[in-house]
Amino acid sequence: MEKTLIDQYGRTLNYLRLSVTDRCNFRCYYCMPEEGVNFVERKDLLTYEELEYLLAIFSEYGVNKVRITGGEPFVRKGIMDFLEKMSRMQGINQITVTSNGTLDRDQMIILKRLGIKKINISLDSLNRQRFFEITRRDKFDEVFQCILDLLGMGFDVKLNAVVADKKNISDILPFIELTKAYDLSVRFLEEMPFNGSGSFEVPKWNHVVLYEYIAAAYPNLIKLSDEKNSTSANYRIPGYKGSFGIIASFSRTFCGTCNRIRLSATGEFRTCLYGPANTNLRDVLRSGASREELIREIVLAVAKKEKDGFEAEARQAEAPKKSMSFLGG
Ligand code: SF4
């Protein structure tokens, strides 16, 4: 009988978001303070061998899509060899990556050879100065060149822009105009409370405000059909090569079709981004647990997956929210 991970609401969880490191070479204000966060020690990170072992279990239980995230995944030593091994694993038929756009050309060539074609690049501004203010790094030119290189090599590129008041509102329409010449998808995300500082204001620029702002500028925009389980509501401007999407990441309007589970670089297993860790698979593994015991931990956690991100958030109302670089997005 086919093994699958199904939660109490009948959702099949076949998409694992795997964070391979909490470290990053940027300091985006919506993710961590300028001074960074207390990054974990190498011994506390899941080793690549442990990651392979756990991935084999997840793929046996129907996980067929894995997104590699971080922090910034390409800052972890040995990541390309790990991706090579992953690309040969049974059952995982889609590997995608999220990066801040600091991967180099050699890494792009290897990704292409491994058949890893879909890559999300976090880019919140098309203006160098605002990019610097948001990321606290003067790397706009490098990141934009990386995007052009990826497009030139035929990658399926999505840009993720976290939209926030007084930060990058003046970038929204230029991002749409970017899709005129480039066949890529720009997604506008609501800000989320995972900034490692414990303080957060409900975003003024939510998915409704964003849509109305864009529709006012482009009354002829076309609604595109969205993929099953998509978090993004997608649109296109007639005649433009690319498309754009709006992700209600704080309003959480898409939880009913959620197929996602998450594993942090230190083994924290979450059934919802907004919820607490259900268990720590690294600790279970390192305690000498059998494969069956590990599977039981995963299946039990999945069975208790929350209805939505609000229910999940309520389960850890007291606890300060971790930085997105730790959670892996
Ligand atoms: S908020 Fe939680 S339940 Fe909702 S889509 Fe995200 S991970 Fe899934």
Average pLDDT (249-271) is 97
1 has a pLDDT exceeding 70: no
Dist CA 329 CA 320 (whole Å): 16
Cis peptide bond N-terminal to 71, omega within 30: yes
**What residue owns the CA closest to ligand 1's atom 4?**
255
Provide the sign of the torsion angle of the four alpha carbons 184, 115, 64, 282, taken in this order: negative
pTM of this prediction? 0.95
Q: For position 198, what pLDDT does the model report?
A: 74
Task: Enter the tokens of residue 262.
Answer: 């998450």
Question: Which CATH number among 3.40.1390.20, 1.10.287.70, 3.40.50.300, 3.20.20.70 corresponds to the domain 15-327?
Answer: 3.20.20.70
Higher-confidence position of 124 and 3:
124
Separation of CA 147 and ligand 1 centre (Å): 28
Pocket of ligand 1 (CB under 6 A): 252, 254-255, 258, 260, 272-274, 308-309, 312
Question: Considering only CA atoms, which residue is closest to atom 5 of ligand 1?
Answer: 255
DSSP state at residue 60: H
Whole-Å CA distances, 217 to 17, 161, 189, 229: 35, 18, 19, 28
Q: How far away, in angstroms, is 329 Cα from ligand 1 center?
A: 11
* Closest ligand 1 atom number to CA of residue 309: 1
pLDDT of residue 33: 84
39 Cα to the center of ligand 1, angstroms:
25
* Ligand 1 atom nearest to 308, measured from its CA: 3
Q: What are the sequence ranges of the domains in the chain?
A: 15-327
How far is the centre of ligand 1, averaged over its atoms, from the C-alpha of 308 (Å)?
6
At CA 70, angle to CA 203 and CA 309, rounded to 5?
A: 40
Name the closest-CA residue to atom 7, ligand 1.
272
Atom of ligand 1 nearest to the CA of 275: 2
Judged by DSSP in three states, 201 sits in coil
| Per-residue model confidence (pLDDT) at position 318 | 65
The confidence band for 34, taking pLDDT boundaries of 50, 70 and 90, is confident
What confidence tens digit (pLDDT) does each residue in 288-326 have? 999 999 999 999 999 999 999 999 999 887 666 788 999
- Mean predicted lDDT score pLDDT of the chain: 96
pLDDT at position 37: 84
pLDDT, tens digit, 9 for 90 and up, residues 7-26: 999 999 999 999 999 999 99
Alpha helices in 164-205 (DSSP H): 172-181
Atom of ligand 1 nearest to the CA of 312: 2
Cα 107 to chain centroid, rounded: 19
194 C-alpha to center of ligand 1: Å?
14
pLDDT in tens, 100-157: 999 999 999 999 999 999 999 999 999 999 999 999 999 999 999 999 999 999 999 9
